[in-house]
């Protein structure tokens, strides 16, 4: 951190506002909001503070911070959202642009038109959406067309032009799709009443609209305008049909927005889902993909998703339900209160039917995330991940290591030695190919990692030789030169040495050893290949330790059974396999045990546990 930056941090205001981290060229790297600018911005530069890799990389590049003070957190929310969309900073969580989805526009003009669009303009028009489900949008537009008589032309219907008689009724008028305001057959006031009813429908308030139409029908019938009243009757029937297609989720006549996230850290992506509930019915669902989420907590991601939605919203509900907490809930509450004119409840349901409702929204988020991953797999089928290409470059390999196998050894004081082999395909774990090995050639209690590695490597590739692959593009041995040399001996013994590259990974992760080379290869700390190797090594270690603990636990359980006269190792293993656990064996009746061991041994087991004090049993 430069002296100028350090001095600037000392004098930052304590007000709410927005901050921009900038690099030496003045490019904005990150935009954030804060309730207290000084406290929030200085937290990035505190020594000893744990940071994710993305934030560490950001802080190294920051040479200046620009702040904009706002009066309230709500103002900071809007400003932050606008700056992120305009600047697209590299280190911010970015959402897929709403403009890729259609909206329904109520045009700001005399005798407004209602039509779908993908272009949002700041011209005073109202935009409803975005509609991520095109079928839902088409249903709404069809319902509007069935219910109301609206113009579809783009004529400039000024008062002077209409009075001058410049226009003639078109086909829509003759088939009763339009009331012909272009020739003065419909007044502007009556047309605007229709537009207000359409807005009510687009906001999802079908019950309120039905009540309005019923009042109009009753009024016309009272005035003996039966033909016009019949038109309203048909509108009410069409509205009822539309309303029946909406799913009822609660009997409460309230308007709610329901937000949930599904996060996949491996793919550096999250999917946010919003369900719009109006008068107790789901009237719409929309989702957005959040990219570049490394280092961002779930609360930050939820905050970004919610902020982005309400920054461009035209309708604000009575209640907002969240599947998880927000990073700055007060900013959202303040903004919604100002926008709606009264308090909007923002909370995470904890019990009852509301939790079930949020579970449904989360299930949809997970489903959409799965669809995104499936599409990504199709797009990336022939695309090699960047980290794999970086590993090829850093280790100077002849081809990209798309299939990586890594070995690790685990034991407890030399006992219960277990080896693991994990497989990564295109930078991702391929768990169906994972294997664990019980070491046979090392005496229990006398640890020998070199011999253990010789055994497991030989067994692994002798088997692959017999089955003819699939062969790895790179083999990683977790350990130094000794383990690597032992592995090379085994590969030569089964005659597969040279078929694929093999390296040893020293305790210092950035050091990689090749067979026959005294000097290590250093992987740059900033390279994505280092993170890939770290993930592979950590997964091999985790898998080995898990297997070793499981084996030790089973051994401990067997040893207790072996204390019972007449129970041997095979019988103990069979009991644990058939009944599932030692606790189940203790609780089983004599007949149940006899079905596994025979009646004689069953009597002895039951007598052993029946005679034991409760604490021991």
Residues 43-73: tens digit of each pLDDT: 888 876 666 667 888 888 999 999 999 888 8
> What is the distance between the alpha carbons of residues 417 and 194, in angstroms, rounded to a whole number?
79
The bridge status of strand 435-438 relative to strand 428-429 is: unpaired
Asked whether residue 98 carries a pLDDT value surpassing 50, the answer given is: no
Q: Are the C-beta atoms of residues 336 and 133 closer than 8 Å to each other?
A: no
- Ramachandran angles phi, psi of 401, nearest 5°: -80, 75
* Rounded average pLDDT over 89-95: 85
pTM here is 0.51
Domains of the chain: 3-92 (3.40.1440.10), 99-204 (no CATH), 256-378 (3.30.420), 387-544 (3.30.420.340), 563-611 (1.10.150.20)
pLDDT of res. 514: 94
pLDDT of res. 556: 57
* Rounded average pLDDT over 440-459: 91
246 vs 615: which has the higher pLDDT: 246
> What is the distance between the alpha carbons of residues 251 and 239, in angstroms, rounded to a whole number?
19
> What is the distance between the alpha carbons of residues 477 and 380, in angstroms, rounded to a whole number?
29
Mean of all residue pLDDT scores within the chain: 86
**C-alpha separations of 481 from 174, 181, 516, 517 in Å:** 89, 87, 9, 9
Which of 19-23, 129-133, 314-318 has the weakest average pLDDT? 129-133
98 vs 360: which has the higher pLDDT: 360
> What is the distance between the alpha carbons of residues 48 and 40, in angstroms, rounded to a whole number?
16
Contacts for 202 with CB less than 8 Å, ≥ 6 apart: 104, 106, 128, 140
* Rounded average pLDDT over 583-611: 88
Burial 456-480 (b: 16+ CB within 10 A, else e): bbbbbbeebeeeeeeebbbbbbbbb
Could you tell me what percent of the chain has a pLDDT over 70?
Answer: 93
* Rounded average pLDDT over 31-45: 90
Give SS3 for 232.
Answer: helix
Q: Are the C-beta atoms of residues 419 and 408 closer than 8 Å to each other?
A: yes
pLDDT category, 507, cuts 50, 70, 90?
confident
pLDDT tens sequence across 556-578: 555 678 778 888 878 887 887 78
Closest CA to 341 of 359, 367, 315, 361: 315
Token pair, residue 377, equals 């797999």
Crossing angle of helices 481-493 and 449-467, in 10° steps, is 40
The bridge status of strand 94-95 relative to strand 281-291 is: antiparallel
* Rounded average pLDDT over 82-87: 86
Closest CA to 88 of 76, 78, 97, 100: 97
221-230, 249-258, 326-335 — most confident range: 326-335
pLDDT tens sequence across 420-440: 999 999 999 999 999 999 999
E strand spans, 296-402: 319-322, 345-347
CA triple 431-432-438, angle to 5 deg: 85
> What is the distance between the alpha carbons of residues 509 and 517, in angstroms, rounded to a whole number?
17
pLDDT of res. 110: 92
> What is the distance between the alpha carbons of residues 444 and 543, in angstroms, rounded to a whole number?
20
- Ramachandran angles phi, psi of 50, nearest 5°: -70, 135
* Rounded average pLDDT over 365-372: 86
> What is the distance between the alpha carbons of residues 318 and 340, in angstroms, rounded to a whole number?
9
- Ramachandran angles phi, psi of 69, nearest 5°: -80, 135
Asked whether residue 581 carries a pLDDT value surpassing 90, the answer given is: no
pLDDT tens sequence across 458-497: 999 999 999 888 999 999 999 889 999 999 999 999 999 9
> What is the distance between the alpha carbons of residues 156 and 181, in angstroms, rounded to a whole number?
11
Q: Looking only at Cα atoms, what is the longest distance across the chain?
A: 112
> What is the distance between the alpha carbons of residues 573 and 571, in angstroms, rounded to a whole number?
5
Asked whether residue 245 carries a pLDDT value surpassing 80, the answer given is: no
Asked whether residue 282 carries a pLDDT value surpassing 80, the answer given is: no
Residue linked to tokens 């990586």: 404
Give SS3 for 200.
Answer: helix
SS (H, E, C) 77-110: HHHHHHHHHHHCCCCCCEECCHHHCCEEEECCCC
> What is the distance between the alpha carbons of residues 183 and 452, in angstroms, rounded to a whole number?
93
Q: Are the C-beta atoms of residues 117 and 131 closer than 8 Å to each other?
A: no
pLDDT of res. 4: 84
CA triple 281-287-288, angle to 5 deg: 155
> What is the distance between the alpha carbons of residues 409 and 425, in angstroms, rounded to a whole number?
22
pLDDT of res. 459: 96
pLDDT category, 617, cuts 50, 70, 90?
very low
Crossing angle of helices 329-340 and 298-311, in 10° steps, is 20
Element (H, E) at 468: none
Alpha helix positions (H), 226-352: 226-244, 298-311, 329-340
* Rounded average pLDDT over 4-21: 90
Residue linked to tokens 């030496």: 24
* Rounded average pLDDT over 123-133: 79
Token pair, residue 435, equals 């294997």
pLDDT of res. 18: 93
Which of 8-22, 82-96, 321-335 has the weakest average pLDDT? 82-96
Contacts for 539 with CB less than 8 Å, ≥ 6 apart: 406, 422, 424, 429
> What is the distance between the alpha carbons of residues 253 and 249, in angstroms, rounded to a whole number?
10
pLDDT category, 180, cuts 50, 70, 90?
very high
pLDDT of res. 228: 79
pLDDT category, 509, cuts 50, 70, 90?
low
206 vs 187: which has the higher pLDDT: 187
124 vs 392: which has the higher pLDDT: 392
């Amino acid at each position: 951190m430069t002296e100028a930056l350090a001095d600037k941090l000392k004098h930052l205001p304590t007000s709410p506002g927005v901050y921009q981290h900038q690099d030496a060229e003045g490019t904005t790297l990150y935009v954030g909001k804060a309730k207290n600018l000084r406290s929030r911005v200085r937290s990035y530069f505190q020594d000893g503070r744990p940071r994710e890799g993305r934030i560490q990389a950001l802080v190294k590049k920051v040479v200046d911070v620009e702040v904009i003070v706002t009066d309230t957190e709500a103002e900071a929310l809007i400003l932050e959202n606008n700056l992120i969309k305009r600047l697209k900073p590299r280190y911010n969580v970015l959402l897929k642009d709403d403009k890729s989805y259609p909206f329904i526009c109520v045009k700001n003009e005399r005798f407004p038109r209602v039509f779908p669009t993908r272009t949002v303009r700041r011209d005073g028009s109202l935009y409803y959406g975005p509609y991520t489900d095109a079928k839902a949008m088409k249903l709404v537009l069809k319902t509007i067309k069935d219910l109301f008589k609206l113009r579809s032309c783009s004529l400039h219907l000024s008062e002077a032009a209409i009075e001058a008689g410049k226009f003639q009724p078109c086909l829509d008028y003759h088939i009763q799709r339009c009331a012909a305001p272009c020739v003065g057959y419909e007044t502007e006031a009556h047309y605007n009443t229709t537009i207000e009813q359409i807005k009510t429908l687009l906001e999802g308030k079908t019950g309120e609209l039905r009540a309005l139409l019923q009042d109009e029908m009753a009024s016309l019938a009272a005035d003996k305008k039966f033909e016009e009243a019949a038109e309203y009757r048909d509108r009410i029937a069409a509205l009822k049909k539309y309303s029946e297609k909406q799913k009822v989720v609660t009997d409460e006549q309230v308007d709610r927005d329901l937000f949930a996230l599904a996060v996949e850290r491996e793919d550096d992506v999250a999917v946010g889902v919003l369900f719009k509930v109006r008068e107790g019915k789901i009237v719409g669902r929309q989702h957005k993909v959040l990219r570049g989420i490394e280092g961002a907590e779930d609360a930050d991601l939820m905050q970004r998703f919610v902020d982005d939605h309400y920054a461009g919203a035209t309708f604000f509900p009575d209640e907002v339900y969240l599947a998880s907490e927000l990073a700055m809930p007060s900013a959202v509450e303040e903004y919604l209160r100002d926008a709606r004119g009264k308090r909007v409840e923002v909370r995470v349901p904890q019990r009852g039917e509301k939790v079930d409702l949020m579970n449904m929204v989360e299930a949809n988020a997970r489903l959409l995330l799965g669809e995104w991953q499936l599409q990504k797999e199709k797009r990336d089928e022939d695309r090699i991940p960047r980290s794999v290409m970086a590993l090829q470059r850093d280790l100077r390999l002849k081809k990209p290591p798309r299939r990586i196998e890594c070995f690790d050894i685990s034991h407890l004081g030399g006992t219960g030695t277990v080896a693991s082999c994990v497989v990564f395909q295109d930078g991702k774990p391929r768990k169906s190919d994972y294997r664990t090995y019980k070491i046979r050639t090392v005496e229990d209690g006398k640890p020998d990692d070199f011999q253990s590695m010789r055994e497991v490597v030989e067994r692994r590739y002798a088997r692959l030789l017999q089955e003819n692959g699939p062969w790895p593009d790179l083999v990683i041995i977790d350990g130094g030169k000794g383990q690597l040399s032992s592995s090379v001996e085994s590969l030569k013994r089964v005659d597969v040495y040279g078929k694929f590259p093999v390296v040893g990974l020293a305790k210092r992760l950035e050091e990689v050893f090749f067979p026959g080379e005294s000097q290590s290869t250093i992987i740059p700390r900033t390279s994505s290949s280092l993170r890939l190797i770290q993930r592979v090594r950590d997964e091999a270690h985790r898998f080995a330790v898990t297997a070793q603990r499981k084996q030790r636990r089973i051994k401990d359980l067997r040893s207790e059974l072996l204390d019972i006269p007449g129970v041997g190792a095979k019988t103990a293993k069979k009991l644990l396999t058939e009944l599932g656990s030692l606790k189940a064996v203790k609780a089983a009746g004599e007949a149940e045990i006899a079905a596994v061991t025979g009646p004689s041994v069953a009597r002895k087991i039951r007598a052993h546990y029946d005679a034991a004090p409760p604490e021991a049993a």
